[in-house]
């Protein structure tokens, strides 16, 4: 009798937890099974499969013969990507996997890229993509060869920060926090700070680090 009561209480708790999660996450959990653990497990498995298939499509479309990578790298990438629900970020995980198995680039894929991608938000990724595109546009307009020195020479002034706020409809405080995190990950260079400047000028001049440029590059499959 006691076991039956305990089982019934457990079911009620699971149902209550499921109802709450259905309100705060996507996709609707009720579509994926009866037990909460099974739902989460299936959703993560589906994300992993989608990442693998999308990476395979990238490789096959280019006619590339993939090389083998370490199981540790593969499992770490699939573990993190399995929790991703943003479509654009899922594409970045697939691109990173495709580049990791591409014989032309895999030597340059740093294992830290997996950890970095796991620590940035979709919005932060969009900001980085915008900076990367600015660098590429500048390089092409000036007919410059690609080099790490180029990355160091390209600066983004405070006008870029205002543009980002407008394009993504975010506040100055939010973009400063974004830049703080990107700096923490060494994707942006250390900001210059002056006590005589207002807070809005804290990131008066920013640049991608070589690590930041390479990270963004390998989270794209081109």
Least confident of 12-26, 27-41, 69-83, 136-150: 27-41
Determine the pLDDT at residue 32.
46
The distance of Cα 160 from the centroid of its chain, to the nearest Å, equals 21
Mean pLDDT of the chain: 80
Q: Locate all alpha helices (DSSP H) within 25-35, ordered by sequence.
A: none
Please list the helix, strand and coil fractions of the chain in percent, rounded to the nearest 5, in that order: 65, 5, 30
Answer yes or no: is pLDDT of 5 > 60.
no
Determine the pLDDT at residue 114.
95
**pLDDT (tens digit per residue) in 152-207:** 566 677 678 888 889 999 998 898 899 999 999 999 986 555 555 555 456 677 88
Higher local confidence (pLDDT), 207 or 215: 215
Quick one: average pLDDT of 133-142?
80
Residue 131: name the closest of 151, 111, 110, 115 by CA: 151
Higher local confidence (pLDDT), 124 or 133: 124
Q: Which domains does the chain have, with CATH numbers?
A: 2-118 (no CATH), 122-218 (1.10.10)
CA 106, CA 104: separation in Å to the nearest integer? Answer: 6
CA 159, CA 204: separation in Å to the nearest integer? Answer: 9
Determine the pLDDT at residue 162.
84
Whether pTM exceeds 0.85:
no
Q: What is the gyration radius of the CA atoms in the chain, in angstroms?
A: 22
Quick one: average pLDDT of 108-133?
91
Determine the pLDDT at residue 202.
63
**pLDDT (tens digit per residue) in 9-63:** 566 766 666 666 566 556 555 554 455 566 778 888 888 888 988 988 898 898 9
Do 196 and 178 meet the contact criterion of CB atoms below 8 Å apart?
no
Determine what percent of the chain is predicted with pLDDT higher than 90: 27
Determine the pLDDT at residue 184.
93
């Amino acid at each position: 009798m006691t076991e039956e009561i305990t089982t019934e209480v457990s079911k009620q708790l699971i149902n209550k937890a499921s109802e709450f999660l259905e309100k705060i996450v996507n996709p609707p959990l009720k579509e994926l099974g009866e037990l909460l653990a099974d739902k989460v497990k299936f959703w993560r498995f589906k994300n992993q499969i989608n990442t693998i298939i999308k990476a395979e499509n990238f490789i096959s479309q280019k006619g590339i013969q993939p090389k083998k990578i370490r199981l540790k790298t593969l499992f770490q990438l699939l573990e993190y990507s399995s929790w991703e629900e943003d479509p654009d970020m899922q594409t970045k995980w697939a691109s990173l996997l495709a580049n990791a198995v591409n014989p032309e680039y895999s030597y340059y894929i740093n294992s830290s890229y997996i950890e970095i991608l796991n620590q940035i938000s979709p919005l932060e990724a969009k900001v980085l993509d915008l900076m990367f595109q600015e660098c590429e546009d500048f390089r092409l307009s000036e007919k410059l060869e690609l080099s790490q020195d180029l990355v160091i020479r390209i600066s983004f002034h405070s006008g870029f920060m205002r543009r980002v706020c407008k394009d993504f409809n975010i506040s100055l405080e939010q973009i400063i926090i974004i830049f703080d995190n990107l700096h923490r990950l060494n994707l942006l260079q250390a900001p210059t700070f002056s006590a005589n400047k207002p807070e809005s000028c804290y990131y008066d001049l920013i640049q991608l680090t070589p690590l930041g440029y390479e990270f963004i590059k390998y989270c794209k499959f081109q």
